[in-house]
Each structure stands twice: as C-alpha cells, then as structure tokens.
Chains A and B, each alone.
Chain A
C-alpha cells in the first residue's frame, strides 16, 4: 500500500503545481487582451473625463506584478475581489452561478454516465451485431452535430412545436425542484447527447481490450453467461480507462457548457464568463478561469488516483 500512497501524494503535489502555473498563465493572458476595462465598461459612450475617472478608481495604473501577487493572496483567502463592471462581490456572484452550472452538469451526468456505460456493455455483449452498430451509429451522429444545432433543433421541436419544455432555461431561487428540472430538460438532453458517444465508445473499447485476456477465456470455459463474464470479470479490470474518460467528460460538463448555456439563456458560469470577457472584467475572467482550471485539474487528478488505487499490482506489491 505504501507505494500506492507515495504515488498518490506525488500526483496531488503535481496537481497543486499545475494550479499555480495556470494561475500565472491566466493572469498574463488577461493582461495582453487589447483595449482596457474602463473603455469596455463605458462602451461607445465614453468621454475622456469619465474614462480617466474610472481608470483611477479601478487601480488600472498599478504595475502588473504587484497586481498578480495581491490577487493571488486574495484568492488563497477565498477573496476573489469585486467585479469591475458591476461592483459586486465576485465570490458571491460566482457562488450562485457555479451552483447552477453544477446543477446542470450533475443532472446531465446522472443520466449520461450510467446510460453510456450500460450502452457500452450492451455493445460489447452484441458485438458486431445490429445493437452494437445501432448504438455506435446513433451516438456518433449525435457527437458529430454541433451543440448549438442540437440545441436549436430540440428547442424548435420540443419547445415550440410540442411545448413540453420551456425554451428559455432560466432558473431562480423561488422555483421548486420540479420546476427547475422542467426548465433544464432541454439543455440536459443536449449535454447528454454530446458526451454519451465518447464515454460509450471508450467503455466498449476498454472492455473489448480486456476480453482478449486468458482469464476471460477461463471464465467462459467455466460456463458463465456472456453477460456475467463481462460484468464480473471484464468490467472491473477496465475501470481505470473508463473512469478516465468519465472524468474528462464530467469536466467538460462543467467547463464546456458555455455554448449550451448561451443558447438556452441558462444562468450558469458559461454565460457569466462570456459577459465579462466581452467587457474585459479581468477579476471575473481570472476567477472563472481559475475555477474552470481547478475543475479540470481536480477531476483528472481523481481519475489518476482511482487508476493508481485500482491497479492490483500497486495495491499488492510483492
């Protein structure tokens, strides 16, 4: 077990180092954008006086390095600063937005992950026969259509024509859970269609890979049913690549929802980020970037740690 723990600790340290590097990149990246915040806030109606007043107020005249360190110090204490444009506290604005994004991602994951794994198992069970071909064909088609198009198609047929679900997925605090679920039905459907294929194909490939092994042959010769062989013997040994792809897609569900959120006007992180990028609200963009990076790095770290722990040779070192 000691070897495994050492590897896990190393992996954690690497994750933290990555986060630090990402924070530097994010800070540098936002500085080299053209234009400045004051100009973007005031838009076309900026008078020179108003511009000068605003720049002074926002502390845009400080050198970049000192701005970075004061920012990092704040972040480590959970203070993300205030949004330049609206003057609201970022941590509290992001709080509700992040929880909305996670809410959407969670429901998409709850539906898509089991479904993808089940379909993957099914495809292996009926390998090269019509269920396998059908599952692969449909999921590949859905991953090939751009998200916004799937979104618009569902919006038109399910929202406008059938009126089964609202076309604008706004959720707010006073809604009941049932109302919220109805509101997010369409974006969840789009996200599910988008991530399903990747996870399903990976599950199928990983299990098929294991199916060549000697112990599977033994299991078959013992006379176990095909499904039992797959479920009891093949699946547990292919967990690590499956977890990997699941994590990657979970990260996508949190970080990659920008398009879906904008199309369905869903009040999540994606829209919040887009709004503030266009107005060059640096503190907000940095905070969003940092959170997205943390989600990605964190989930990848979890996948690697699971892979380390799931590796029998590391768990039972000779």
Chain B
C-alpha cells in the first residue's frame, strides 16, 4: 500500500478528513471502493475510539406508556435506556461468552448449586455511592419477591437463598444450574442502589451515562458519567435516543442524517437502503424465531401424526425468501439454532407434501384445521399463514385462516387458542429457552408440551458440568421437541440494523440487535 494511502487512512480514521473524501482520494490512487472501505474500517479500529460528540439512535418498540423501572422493561427502547444508566452483574461478550461487569469474577461449586460473584471494587453509582454486595443482593431480592411484577421472576425462581459476605454475593439454588451466570445477564437485572427498593424508576445505576432529559415514549438524553469504571463503554459525550415506531420514519431519519443508527430495518426495504453510500446495513442471525404453535393436548393436534403432517406441509425456504426477504435462516421445529452455545446440528426437515399427506392419512383426521393469526404476532404473519395454507393444500390438508385483531392478541389468542402464529425472541442459553416454554410446568408452555423424558433431561443437564455430555443432552432434547412437539418453526429472523458510515467500533455482537442494544454505548463518531 502506498505511503499516501497510509497517510490518508490515518487522517480519515482520526476524523480529519471525511470518509467521502478518503474514498474519493483512494479512487484517484487506484483503489476500489470496496477495498478502500475495508482499509478504512481497519484504520478506524487501529486508531481506537474517538471521544466526544453526540450519537443519536432511532429505536422502535417504545411507547409513552412505558415504565422506567427495569423490572417492567419489555421492549428494545426501554432496554436501550437501561443500557445507558445501568449495568448487570455479568454481560454477554461479543462472541456469546460472558464478561464481568459489576462482578469481576464468579465461580460455581462442584455441583453447580452454589454460585459466588466477586463484586468489582470502586464501581460507583451515578449518585456517587460505591456499589456493594448488599446492593446486588437487594436488587435480586426485588426481582424475586412474592409480590414482584418483574419480567425476571422466572429466572429468579430457582434461587433458594442469597447472602452478601464482604465483596462476595453468594447464591444458593434449589436445583443445580450450570447456566446461572448467563441468567444474570438478563436486562431486567440492572444493579441499583439498595436494589431500587426506594425508587425503582430513579435511573441511578453504574452505567456510562446519566439520563438528563426524558420524555416517555419520545426521547431520552444521556450525558457521560465522568466516573464510569470502564473505558470501553461510553465514548460519546452525549447519547440521544429517539423512539420512532414507524418503520418508514425510522429509515428516513437515518437517511436524512438525523440519527446514526436504527434498530429493525424492515427486511422488505433493507436491500434498497444498503445501496446508500452513507449507510451500512448489518444483519446477524440471532435466537429469535417466528412460529406456528399447536397445543399438543387439544384435538386434532393431540395426535402426533397431525403435527408431523403440518411440519412436512410447511415450505421453510419459501418463508425465509418471501417473508424475511432472505434476512433469516430456516428453522427445524426446535427453538434452538446455531446462535446458542452447545448447539448440535440436526438433519434439516424440508417440505414434503407426500410425507405430509401420508401422516395426515395415518392420523385418521381429515377435517379443516383452524389457524389464528394477526399482524403483530410477527411481521408478515398473515402472509406466512397464507403461504402455509397453499403448501398444505398440495398435501391435501385444509388449513383455514382466521385473522384476529392485533389488539388483545397476546391475551386472547396466544397461549389460549390451540393453533396460532407467534414469535419468540429467544434466550441466551438453551436451558432457559427450554425451561421457559417446553418444560411441562413452564408458565409459557404455549405448545402444551408435556414429555417426561424431556423434563428429566432438562433437569439433569442443569447439573451436568461435563460439556460433552451436556451438549448431547441438549441435542436429545431438541430431537424430542422436533419430532414430538407442537412447535412448527419455519424460520429464525435476523436482526437487521442500519448504521451511518461515520460510526466507528461497530461489531457483530451476540444477543439482541444494535450490538445487543449497546450500540450507542460502545461505538464512536469517526468524522
């Protein structure tokens, strides 16, 4: 590479010349745009984070009826606000492992039933108070009390006792669980002074920003908290989160330069948007999946042949192409995919109308099958249902579709009606996903799946510290769900984010979209 290009890339990385100027001059030196972009990205990484400026992000999901209490956070927008001011004990690392936040290290007993988290020294809340093990314990108590409304309650149920000893926070479980540290990454579990018992909505935590201005459902502004303990978080002086639910408006805000990054680019238009020279579209696979769920205990779905007929009667690739516009991957009738640790590849089930017809005939049922759907069960659900109807027709299966109103879908249809469309955002580890929806006693067992062998395996796997054995157990569980469950999972949806090209430090990250919703906190402005 020429000296001149070297010089230019450093200047561009430092923000001395604009990206456009760099690309132009690189072209003069005979370097193509794709190559020049790669060079620049490397240079930006090498130059390290630039401090200062304001990063604006446009995010969907928020509403003026949201709560500021982390226990009641339910969407991308509220979670992104939590990421500004708060931190959990541990967090997912970029590659899906774990990194300590408020806990600097952790260890489990040999049988994985007692876990000790060592609290990092000299971490302060934004009100100046130093974080103690008692604060951590109070936080966990608030999310696990009898009368809590916390979304993390399901996670906390397995905890038998907690205590704080000096710098250690110690958790005793009623049943062994090798995944406990992963559970502590849950976004509800932001550590608050005295656990947030005094004022859960005060937005005081150990995060890199202080929320200085807020308008529920509209806009949040965070200003850098000078005493934040970790230099790798919080490069901009100011973060502005704009809550934009309208897809078109969110994309327009990115295109017009009003925001630097947006969540959930509509797959339908992602290809068009990525052609813009100042915008990168990043998609990454995640654990989220779009599903058709049948209750295994309700006729006609209580007959496994009917379930198998439906599983063979769905055209997965067609769904990924036409519903996700390619921004996704085919599912295999299990909630687990390669985004999970300890995942095992299994034979891919494909569309086979002959097999579907064979299973249907074997089941002895030949009546219509009623599928309920709505727009908000997942984007494009009614269209996906229509495709399913068509592919079933070829197998002689009569699927009837009933459009339900968006309003009340999650209370009246999902988890109540025997067959409907739905989505799952997934969980960080297999145990949590299975425990949440496939254990026979699970709160959200939305397929009414009850399988003794599966339950035994799930409980046993929690205590199994030998990874090879554990991996095999999870593979067996997936197989049971895949061959006997009421889950018809045609596709896993990608997270599709839009990012302005003058943002540095963007990398593919495990977890949710927008770098596990840490996008504004972990990136910087290059020019």
B244 within 8 A of A: yes
Cβ-defined partner of B249 (8 Å) among A41, A48, A264: A264
| Contact across chains for A152 and B74 when beta carbons are under 8 A apart | no
| Contact across chains for B444 and A44 when beta carbons are under 8 A apart | yes
| Contact across chains for B151 and A152 when beta carbons are under 8 A apart | no
- The interface-forming segment of A112-120, A129-137, A270-278, A303-311 is A270-278
B208 within 8 A of A: no
Interface string of B231-253 (1 = CB under 8 A from A): 00000000000111110110011
Cα distance A45–B66 when bound, in Å? 15
Cα distance A88–B66 when bound, in Å? 10
Interface size of B as a range: 35 or more
| Contact across chains for B218 and A172 when beta carbons are under 8 A apart | yes
Cα distance A276–B216 when bound, in Å? 12
The B interface is mostly helix, strand or loop, or mixed, namely: loop
Q: Which residue of A lies closest to B146 (CB)?
A: A49
Interface string of A13-49 (1 = CB under 8 A from B): 0000000000000000000011110011111110111
Residues on the B chain within 8 Å of A262, using CB = 245-246
With contacts defined as CB atoms under 8 Å apart, how many contacts are there between chain A and chain B in the complex? 136
| Contact across chains for B63 and A279 when beta carbons are under 8 A apart | yes
| Contact across chains for A276 and B213 when beta carbons are under 8 A apart | no
Residues on the B chain within 8 Å of A47, using CB = 153-154, 443
| Contact across chains for A83 and B65 when beta carbons are under 8 A apart | yes
Most buried by B among A42, A45, A96: A45
Assess A152 versus B248: contact at CB under 8 Å? Given A50-B148, A93-B64, A167-B256.
Answer: yes
| Contact across chains for A275 and B148 when beta carbons are under 8 A apart | no
| Contact across chains for A167 and B252 when beta carbons are under 8 A apart | yes
Assess A172 versus B408: contact at CB under 8 Å? Given A47-B154, A265-B245, A279-B63.
Answer: no
Assess A93 versus B216: contact at CB under 8 Å? Given A160-B255, A275-B63.
Answer: yes
Q: Which residue of B lies closest to A50 (CB)?
A: B149
Assess A87 versus B67: contact at CB under 8 Å? Given A47-B154, A163-B257, A262-B245.
Answer: yes
A267 vs chain B, min Cβ distance (A): 4
| Contact across chains for A36 and B411 when beta carbons are under 8 A apart | yes
Residues on the B chain within 8 Å of A96, using CB = 215
Residues on the B chain within 8 Å of A88, using CB = 216
| Contact across chains for A167 and B253 when beta carbons are under 8 A apart | yes
| Contact across chains for A272 and B252 when beta carbons are under 8 A apart | no
Q: Which residue of A lies closest to B152 (CB)?
A: A45
Cα distance A158–B93 when bound, in Å? 42
A77 within 8 A of B: no
| Contact across chains for A166 and B258 when beta carbons are under 8 A apart | yes
Residues on the A chain within 8 Å of B63, using CB = 275-276, 278-279
Interface string of A252-265 (1 = CB under 8 A from B): 00000000001111
Cβ-defined partner of A168 (8 Å) among B148, B258, B408: B258
A interface residues, how many (CB within 8 angstroms): 52
| Contact across chains for B249 and A263 when beta carbons are under 8 A apart | yes
Cα distance A304–B95 when bound, in Å? 69
Interface string of A151-162 (1 = CB under 8 A from B): 010011001100
B375 vs chain A, min Cβ distance (A): 12
| Contact across chains for B408 and A86 when beta carbons are under 8 A apart | no
A33 vs chain B, min Cβ distance (A): 7
A179 within 8 A of B: no
| Contact across chains for A44 and B414 when beta carbons are under 8 A apart | yes
| Contact across chains for A53 and B411 when beta carbons are under 8 A apart | no
B147 within 8 A of A: yes
A85 within 8 A of B: yes
Residues on the B chain within 8 Å of A219, using CB = none
Residues on the B chain within 8 Å of A185, using CB = none
A174 within 8 A of B: yes
A54 within 8 A of B: yes
Cα distance A40–B66 when bound, in Å? 12
Cα distance A20–B148 when bound, in Å? 39
Q: Which residue of B lies closest to A156 (CB)?
A: B252
A294 within 8 A of B: no
Interface string of B205-220 (1 = CB under 8 A from A): 0000000010111110
User: Which residues of chain A in 150-197 are interfacial with respect to chain B, using CB atoms and an 8 Å cutoff?
Assistant: 152, 155-156, 159-160, 163, 166-168, 170, 172, 174
A250 within 8 A of B: no
A37 vs chain B, min Cβ distance (A): 10
A257 vs chain B, min Cβ distance (A): 14
Assess A49 versus B216: contact at CB under 8 Å? Given A35-B412, A43-B410, A263-B248.
Answer: no
| Contact across chains for A163 and B256 when beta carbons are under 8 A apart | yes
Residues on the B chain within 8 Å of A267, using CB = 64, 215, 217-219
Cα distance A168–B179 when bound, in Å? 42
A147 within 8 A of B: no
| Contact across chains for A53 and B147 when beta carbons are under 8 A apart | yes
Most buried by A among B64, B148, B242, B411: B64
| Contact across chains for B149 and A86 when beta carbons are under 8 A apart | no
B198 within 8 A of A: no
Residues on the B chain within 8 Å of A284, using CB = 65
Cα distance A268–B252 when bound, in Å? 20
| Contact across chains for B149 and A263 when beta carbons are under 8 A apart | no
| Contact across chains for B149 and A167 when beta carbons are under 8 A apart | no
Cβ-defined partner of A279 (8 Å) among B65, B219, B242, B405: B65
B407 within 8 A of A: yes
B70 within 8 A of A: no
Cα distance A43–B148 when bound, in Å? 15
B58 within 8 A of A: yes
User: Which residues of chain A in 49-69 are interfacial with respect to chain B, using CB atoms and an 8 Å cutoff?
Assistant: 49-50, 53-54
Cα distance A156–B255 when bound, in Å? 9
A258 vs chain B, min Cβ distance (A): 12
**8 A-B pairs with the lowest CB-CB distances in the bound complex, closest first:** A35-B408, A35-B411, A85-B65, A39-B411, A275-B63, A34-B408, A167-B252, A267-B218
Question: Other than the known A263-B246, A276-B65, what 5 A-B pairs have Cβ atoms closer than 8 Å?
Answer: A35-B411, A47-B443, A168-B242, A168-B244, A276-B63
